[in-house]
Structure formats: C-alpha cells, structure tokens
Amino acid sequence: MMEFKLLRQIKKEPYSLYKRTGDITVQELKRMYGIYQKYYANTRYEIFERDFLEKTGVFFIIEPKNNQIVGFSTVMERDFVVDGKARHAFFSGDTIIEKEYWGNRALTRAMFRYIISFKFRHPRTPVYWILISKGFKTYLLLANNYYSYYPHYGEKNAHLKDFVESYCKEYFSEY
C-alpha cells in the first residue's frame, strides 16, 4: 500500500509505505534500528530484531528528497477471544519518527489506508486497534481520532474493558 508517492515527491512531503515483515531488507531493518536507538536508551540490535520479526509488517515514512526512511511504526495483526467470540485486532508496536518530521501526517494516512483495506476484504468483521500508550501525546491519537476507545478520560466505553483485558491476558500474561 503506497499513497500518491509522485504527488508527495512533487510537493517534497514525506510519504508512507507499508511492507510485510518478510519483505524487509537487512539495510531497512538497520536503518529502523538507527532511528530507534536515537530515542531509546539501553537498546540492542538483537532484541530489536527479535521483536520486529514477531510483527506482521511496518509502515515507513520516507523522505522523498533522498528516499531515506525517517520514521516507522510496526504493526501486528492478531486474533483474540472475548466472551467466547473470536475478535481481530491490530496491535501497534514501536513508532518512532525523526524529530524534524514530527507532525507529519504520512503515518496517519498509512494506518487509515491499512484499516480501510482490511475492512474492504472483511466488511463484517469488527476490528480493534490495541495501542500501548506511554504518554499523553500517544493517548491523544485515540481521543482525536476515535469515537469509541478505552480507557476514556470521561469514563465512557467501559464495555471495551473486557476487550483490553482479554487481549492483554492472552498475549502479555507474563506482565
């Protein structure tokens, strides 16, 4: 899935590109790690690579002037069970963008296209986005882009608590 790359290049705006995990080159993975280690302390490439290989894919933000990766967000699709019913979720992994590209909308557009594409293929399947928020800015992604999310600052959508707890127990029980 690629947005209007040519249009973004003409405007000299970063654009997004989605790639499945198995299609990532070693060079791309090392570039991702280079960005990652700028913003996180005490990291090791081996841990980053192992975590990345568990993901379904990655959204890249590409700078059109030099075709360089300037940000990325990993994603993992998983099923989980709530009240005896299978559910489908997108789990957002690491998201890191070079500081000079903060505020750019390429990643938002990429995620939107990704979810819409899934819904076209599976129109009757409810889908959930699982996001671990480490701070206020990440939490604002939910508050500014979704009507229904949990936890909600106004204590709404309590019915989603079971979804969050079920997903976390299934995939993060050791924590």
Structural domain boundaries enclosing 82: 5-172
Residues 107-159 pLDDT 10s: 888 888 898 999 999 998 888 888 877 777 778 877 887 888 888 888 898 88
How does DSSP classify residue 148?
S
Q: Which of 167, 104, 106, 80 is closest to 132 using CA atoms?
A: 167
pLDDT score, position 94: 87
Give the sheet arrangement for strand 57-63, strand by strand: 15-20, 57-63, 68-82, 85-97, 127-131
φ/ψ region of 26 (left if φ > 0, alpha if ψ in -120 to 50, else beta) reads alpha
* Closest residue by Cα to residue 165 from 130, 138, 125, 127: 130
* Weakest mean pLDDT among 51-55, 85-89, 96-100: 85-89
- Predicted local distance difference test score (pLDDT) of residue 147: 81
Quickly tell me which residue has 């936890």 as its tokens: 151
Here the CATH number for the domain that contains residue 33 is 3.40.630.30
pLDDT digits (tens, 9 = 90+) for 3-61: 555 555 556 789 999 999 999 999 999 999 999 999 998 999 999 999 999 999 999 99
CA-based R_g, the chain, Å? 17
Q: Where are the alpha helices (DSSP H) in 22-172?
A: 26-39, 45-53, 106-121, 136-145, 161-172
pLDDT of residue 6: 59
pLDDT at 1 over 50: no
Q: Give pLDDT, residue 76.
A: 92
Q: What is the pLDDT of residue 4?
A: 56
- Total domain count, the chain: 1
Residue 48's alpha-carbon distances to 6, 51, 68, 102, 107, in angstroms, are 32, 5, 20, 22, 21
